[in-house]
Amino acid sequence: MKRAVSIIIAVFIFAMLLVSVPVSAEQTETGYIYFQIPTEGSVAWNNFKMVYCHMWSRAGGDVYGWQDKNERCEDLNNGYWRYDISGIDFDKDGEYSLIFSNENGLQTYNLNITSSCIGDIAYCKGDTCVNPVDGEKSCAVARWKNNGDKVYPAIEIDSNGKTLNPDEADAQNIETKWGEANGSSYELPKLNVTSKTDETKAESIKESLTVEQVADKEDGINLTAATTWIIIVSAVCVIAVITLTVILARRNKDSK
């Protein structure tokens, strides 16, 4: 009997160790670029369901059509969306820009991108710029959080012939070529405040997403991974109970 109890205790301790193993990482992955949605001021994004990342070569030619299904980003449910660029074949001598947009017509201003930006986070400080295509509209200016000192918002000529240069960058010193770099992995911060609107949006999106796409809003735990560990622990506990039952049954049989 003591041996059986020892086995159960050992199995239980093993199960608890499994539960304590971290199931998510805070680091960004270098196969993605990230976008922190604007949440304040006139450029705040509210009541939307999808973010798209439209990318094109400065020499001409879109990677995908505007808001094509291949441009859809994944909601991380903490104010951040990520876009998988691992399958895009970039020209090493090309120059690229991108726009983040949603289905309600809101978008960011044109932002240059290089391979060093892989794994980086695009964010908006709240300032706006004229839409280069439609001078009657304005859009949020996005910048790179970790590469903003060398990869800037694009210099454009709007529909009225006016030069748009949000950061007054020197065109000669802007790094725009795709190059050979593979980017870096950066710490993905969490939003300090989540608005009620964002919470409502996240809840509505959860209903349409698969379990693999949903992440816990509080601590970033991936629900799929958490569910997997729960199943493993439950299975171990069931096996322990069955083992104990068999041992006790044999003891009772031998004692008769």
* DSSP per-residue string spanning 15-60: HHHHHHS-----B--TTEEEEE---SGGG---S---EEEEEEETTS
Residue 213 reports pLDDT greater than 60: no
Assign 237 a pLDDT band (cuts: 50, 70, 90): low
What pLDDT is recorded for position 107? Answer: 95
pTM: 0.65
Mean of the per-residue pLDDT values for the chain? 76
Q: Which two tokens stand for residue 64?
A: 């995908």
Most confident of 9-13, 34-38, 91-95: 34-38
Residue 159: pLDDT band by 50, 70, 90 thresholds? confident
pLDDT at 20 over 70: no
Q: Which of 105-109, 200-204, 219-223, 245-249 has the lowest mean pLDDT?
A: 219-223
The yes-or-no verdict on residue 214 having pLDDT over 80 is no
pLDDT at 15 over 60: no
The CA–CA distances, whole Å, from 229 to 71, 180, 213 equal 32, 39, 17
Summarize the confidence of residues 104-126 as an average pLDDT.
94
Identify the DSSP state of 227.
H
Phi, psi of 211 (to 5 degrees): -60, -35
The ranges assigned to domains in the chain are 2-22+222-255, 32-191
Let me know: does 33 contact 63? Beta carbons within 8 Å. Answer: no
pLDDT value of residue 93: 86
Which residue do the tokens 């958490």 mark?
226
Helix (DSSP H) and strand (DSSP E) numbers for the chain: 3, 10
Annotate 75-111 with DSSP letters as a single string.
E-SSSEEEEE-TT----TT-BEEEEEEETTS-BBPPE
**Alpha-carbon distance 112 to 256, whole Å?**
82
Q: How confident is the model at residue 239 (pLDDT cuts 50, 70, 90)?
A: confident
Lowest-confidence range among 57-66, 170-179, 200-209, 239-248?
A: 200-209
